[in-house]
Amino acid sequence: MRIVALALTLSVFLPVAARADDPPPPPPARKVLFIGNSYTEATRSALEGMYKAAGYDPSTMLEFATKDGYTLAKHAADEALATRITEGGWTHVVLQEQSQMPAYPQLRQQYLDAVGKLEARIRPVRAVTVLFATWGRRDGDLENKHTAPDYETMQELLSAGFAEATVRFGARVTVAPVDKAWATVRRRAPDLGRRLYLQDGGHPSAHGATLAATVLFRAINGTMPPAMRAVTMTDADAKLLLEIAATACEGLR
């Protein structure tokens, strides 16, 4: 089983002003640490834009511990990060695994063990552990074509891994169902679905980052973010992504 880190070129993300009829933003009581790799880093600009549009200063509410290609097991072994978790005063800690690990049974146990170690550090500080459920690659896992030859197969494998984490950890974690929203876009609007990716077929474009950030904002704050879009998006695309994200998040506590 090969695991490769994909090179990342960030898309420019510029939020637009919220509409007058948007719901009021959530109370500014959240302090969030995002732990992951380049997938989280690629979503950062969209997240920060949403918090700004909601009237908050993301520099005081959001922090990121991201390293390219990192697995959660590597993060769990980082003593400096352990101290940061303990002393940061977080209300939420978001965990994003390397994009292949939850998909394959022979690697999934490493993912689950790493979540367990990190969650055990997060729980004593009374923060909520949020699992960032990621998407399958646009054309499947090119390094493991025999196992995940296309997007649909890879997404099914990944989502099974996240479902297993939900069963194992129960109410101790909240899952941000970006995977579910992503799959719905791929199914309902195939052309838009392929535009969720950068050219490398893995990392999110501005469209994909907007979708992921919307789901994460909802999972963390309990309400949808202000209406936004990147400058490269049409109003119709932005509306559809917001609608799909909202549906994917139905049932979140």
pLDDT number for residue 28: 53
Residue 21: band (very low, low, confident or very high) from pLDDT cuts 50, 70, 90: low
pLDDT in tens, 119-172: 999 999 999 999 999 999 999 999 999 999 999 999 999 999 999 999 999 999
For the entire predicted model, the pTM comes to 0.90
What Å distances lie between residue 197 and 32, 46, 179, 228, CA to CA? 25, 14, 13, 18
Cβ proximity of 2 and 144 under 8 Å: yes
Q: Which residues contact 249 (CB under 8 A, 6 or more apart)?
A: 177, 181, 215, 218, 219, 224
**Of 244, 246, 241, nearest in space to 222 by CA:** 246
Residue 18: band (very low, low, confident or very high) from pLDDT cuts 50, 70, 90: very low
Please say if the pLDDT value at position 12 is more than 50: no
pLDDT number for residue 13: 45
Please say if the pLDDT value at position 2 is more than 80: no
pLDDT number for residue 211: 97
Strands 92-95 and 62-66: unpaired
- How far apart CA 249 and CA 251 sit, in angstroms, is 6
- How far apart CA 218 and CA 203 sit, in angstroms, is 21
Burial (CB count <10 Å: 0-12, 13-18, 19+), residue 117: middle
Average pLDDT of the chain, as a whole number: 89
pLDDT in tens, 229-251: 777 889 899 999 999 999 999 98
CB atoms within 10 A of CB 96: 27
Please say if the pLDDT value at position 23 is more than 90: no
What Å distances lie between residue 222 and 135, 149, 170, 173, CA to CA? 22, 36, 18, 14
Domains and CATH numbers, the chain: 32-248 (3.40.50.1110)
pLDDT in tens, 190-227: 999 999 999 999 999 999 999 999 999 999 999 999 87
- How far apart CA 26 and CA 8 sit, in angstroms, is 32
